[in-house]
Every structure is written in C-alpha cells, then in structure tokens.
Amino acid sequence: MTIKMKMTALIASALIAIIGIAGVSQTQLNTVFEKANYASENTVPSLTTLNEAIAAVANVRVATWQHIAQNDPAKRKDSVIQNKHTYFGLLNSMGCTYYLNLTSNKGMIV
C-alpha cells in the first residue's frame, strides 16, 4: 500500500466515524426532546391544576368556617347546598383534569 492509499483509508474511516457519531447524537436528541415535550405537555398542566385545587380547598375551608359561624338554621342549610354544588363540583372537575393530564397515550414515564 502506498502512503496515498493509507491516508485515504484513514480519512475514510474518520468520516465514517463522524457520520456514525452524528447519527447516534441525533437519536439521543430526539429522545431528550420527547421526554422534555412530555414534561411540558403533561407535568406542567398537572401542577397548574393542583395549584388551582389548593385554592379551591382553601375556599372550602373558609366556607366551612362561615357555615360553623352561621347562627340562622335556614341560612346554614342554604350555605351547605350552595357550597356543595360550587366547591365540590369544582374540586371534582379539577381531579378529572389532573387525572387526564397525569396519564399519557404512550404511557411514558420520565
């Protein structure tokens, strides 16, 4: 083998290695993108829903204290009915939203 052929083989093997590394890095970048996309689509909305649920629970606590402090039985009964439909319906819908955001079609676990 001549020096020219050896240098050509050396350059060709280096090019093949660079192309291989580029292919592997592209697949790794796609994997990272999928996991980051999963987090932004599912995790962040779930955290937002939980934050809203915390506010709703705080409202339920305030309504409970207002109910306890109410002396009039008729107003007490009305407040129970109103709060039941208002707050617990809201908490139920937030729980459903949280569950939908929590589960994925792919079943991917990050």
Q: What is the pLDDT of residues 35-77, one digit of tens each?
A: 888 777 777 887 888 888 888 888 888 888 887 888 887 777 7
The distance from CA 14 to its chain's CA centroid, rounded to whole angstroms, is: 42
94 C-beta neighbours (distance < 10 Å), count: 19
76 C-beta neighbours (distance < 10 Å), count: 14
For residue 91, what pLDDT is reported?
Answer: 79
Q: Judge whether residue 108 has pLDDT over 60.
A: no
Residue 79 near residue 66 (C-beta atoms within 8 A) = yes
Confidence of residue 103 (pLDDT cuts 50, 70, 90): low
Claim: this prediction has a pTM higher than 0.75: no
Determine the Cα–Cα distance for residues 52 and 61; give it in Å rounded to an integer. Answer: 14
The distance from CA 95 to its chain's CA centroid, rounded to whole angstroms, is: 14
Angle at alpha carbon of residue 80, lines to 75 and 86, rounded to 5°: 120
Top-confidence residue, 91 or 109: 91
Q: How many residues does the chain have?
A: 110
Confidence of residue 110 (pLDDT cuts 50, 70, 90): very low
